Chains A and B, each alone.
Chain A
Amino acid sequence: MDLTRRGLLAAGLGVGAALGVSACASGGSDSGGRPLPPESPATAPPGSPNLLVIFSDDHRADHLGITGAVPFLRTPALDALASDGIRFDRAYVTTALCSPSRATLLTGQYASRHGVQNNLSAWTPGTPSFFDSLAAAGYRCAYIGKWHMPGDLPDLPGVERFVTFTIEEGQGVYRDCPLIIDGVETERPGTYVSTDLTDLALQWLAESDDGRPYCLVVAHKAVHHEFEPPDDLLGTYDDVDIDLPDEAFTYQTLLDRNVWEGTAGRLQTSYRRYCETLLGLDREIDRLVAQASDDTVVIYTSDNGYSWGEHVLTGKRWAYDDNIRVPFIVRWPDGIASPGTVIDEPVLNADIAPTLLDLADVPIPAAMQGRSIAPLLRGEPVEWRDEVFYEYFADFPYQVPPSQAVRTDRWLYVEYDRGLAPELYDTVADPEQQVNLVEDPAYAATRQELSQRLAELRREHT
């Protein structure tokens, strides 16, 4: 049945895509330069799923209630999402930093290719994203939330609703965050940003419902600093015991390496607020997912993880698991073979763009470096990658050297462009990545092998 459907889709796809491209080309633009909907929009094939991507900020992988890693933490909506769907236990980002990770989500490419290498590099106008192809295939598309790439806000082809914020250099604020809705600056007094973005997402879903499937990205500010939970959740975790790593201490936030993370003050206090902010985000995810029909693919992930004391770090950017591993949950009642499954195959944020196109039966551009995870969702046998490549570029003023790393199921090997010697960790024997084996003669061969492999991956991905 799947083959039949795919065959029909493939036959219709060329016509649909051609219509879409043609319509886009002749559709012109509005007064703000935003492309108008095509005059003769392509029609998405019957059965095309809705695509809902919920993208949070700084949410580390183990901070899901369902993992049990943080005994007091509750994330009922995300837990339900995982129970009803699939949770990828080894999901990584290609660069553990806000702007590059966002661009990777949209393009399916590494930062080396899409060019948004740090929080100071702009999105190049005209950079292809999955929205282009989905709109051409008959999807209605919207991007609602944190954009956080410098320069002028983009006119993303095919995006019919674009909501974001530019305050605090695009970081936004939790309360009364002014929004730019389709190019119009809008004050939002009395609002909490996670709730406001969710309201706008729900509003757009209702308003734009014309029978076409949708692709909606909701990109939250939460749980980025300043870690401000909703009023009713503030203090929820005040009385819980916080188990910091051995090497951490309360005012490590004032060290040079951490001081720009916006967490100056007591580490434990910031951490409590982080968890409460996550609780607030979880509540908004529940509202949004509640409207999702069974033919809606919901993907939840984050732009990067976060260190809470590990390696005496507070923040992200490093190649350690705390920073590069993210939650990655997919719920799709109509398509997932075994709900509740946890998958160990390593997946990337770069996989999201090709996955969305694959699920919509749209051809995946060769320029995309990620792979569709659709076969994993459907439980189909597939040859999968057994390692991932990580890259990080200098991001002033953060004292993290540019680096590249390879993460296999057992090893993490990191090379820095300057300032620090390479690092090698056995993540099975040492999951906290505390014992650097790089100078240990017993692991010389492993180091050499991983160094060679890293060089190959660097050539392949950059």
Chain B
Amino acid sequence: MSAVPADAMGPAASSEARRTWAMAVPAVISVAAFLVIDLLLAALVGRPWGPAYPVTLDGLVLLRMGPVFFSGLLVWPLMRAGGATRAQAVLGLLATPVAFAIVSGWRAAAFFPPLEAAYYATNPIVIGAIGAQVSSAGLGALLFAVRRTRSLRAGWTWGPIIAIVAGTAVTVVAVIWDGGQHLFYPWVVLYGRIFG
């Protein structure tokens, strides 16, 4: 978004910018995929046109979960392979759940005042999505390491395992265990304490 042309920043800066963008491509694709599917869903929902309507809508709803919950499977290892630092890869990993949170909060702003809509963006599904992304990233890192070393033993490290276990635990508590009620109710009670 800079108004300064890349050439004006010098060849080194330009090259660095290109490298950063190239690194970020997996995360950008994930965010773009989410946004496209979400917009398509919003445009089509509630306008039945025939037998293909429910199949299409079901497909879109389920497909939307891919980038929001599981894109870390590719985003993390591809960004790391592209030279991203851990911090950069974490940002890339969180980009889609954060985009999902922003869209959720923006939609909620139609029904709730701005601050409450912002609180809405911290909802358990966002938390669950972050957990799933961490878990997916761990799995992706493990699979890529095994593929690179062609050995489960050589590719094995504890970092991805910890990410898989911790991320899965967060997701289970946030959205799976009893339908996520055990986080949902505290989140709603906290809302009441803040805004009530």
Contacts and interface: CB of A to CB of B under 8 A. Distances in A.
A259 B54 CA distance: 18
A260 B110 CA distance: 17
B57 A256 contact: no
A251 interface: yes
Contacts of A396: 112, 116, 120, 188, 191-192, 195
Interface of A: 120, 150, 168-169, 225-226, 244, 246-252, 254-256, 259-260, 262, 264, 311-312, 394, 396-397, 399-401, 418-420
A178 to B, nearest CB: 15
B188 A256 contact: no
A264 B179 contact: yes
Interface string B46-71: 11100001100110011001000000
Give the secondary structure class of B's interface: helix
Interface of B: 41, 45-48, 53-54, 57-58, 61-62, 65, 104, 107-108, 110-112, 116, 120, 123, 125, 175, 178-179, 181, 184-185, 188-189, 191-192, 195-196
Nearest to A226: B179
Contacts of A256: 104, 107-108
A168 B185 CA distance: 7
Contacts of B192: 120, 150, 396
30 contacts: A120-B196, A150-B192, A168-B185, A169-B185, A169-B188, A225-B179, A244-B54, A247-B46, A249-B54, A249-B57, A249-B61, A250-B58, A252-B45, A255-B41, A256-B104, A256-B107, A256-B108, A260-B184, A311-B46, A394-B111, A396-B112, A396-B120, A396-B188, A396-B191, A396-B192, A396-B195, A399-B107, A401-B110, A401-B111, A419-B110
Contact of A247 (B48, B61, B123): B48
Q: Which of B53, B57, B123 has the most CB of A within 10 A?
A: B57
Q: Which of B53, B54, B111, B191 has the most CB of A within 10 A?
A: B111
Contacts of A418: 110-111
Given A250-B54, A251-B57, 5 more contacts: A246-B48, A249-B54, A252-B61, A312-B46, A399-B108
Contacts of A251: 57-58, 61-62
B111 A399 contact: yes
Contacts of B110: 399, 401, 418-420
Contacts of A168: 181, 185
B159 to A, nearest CB: 31
A311 B47 CA distance: 10
A-B pairs, 4 with minimum CB distance: A249-B54, A419-B110, A249-B57, A251-B61
A4 B127 CA distance: 68
A147 to B, nearest CB: 16
A256 B120 CA distance: 11
Contacts of A254: 61-62, 65
Contacts of B179: 225-226, 262, 264
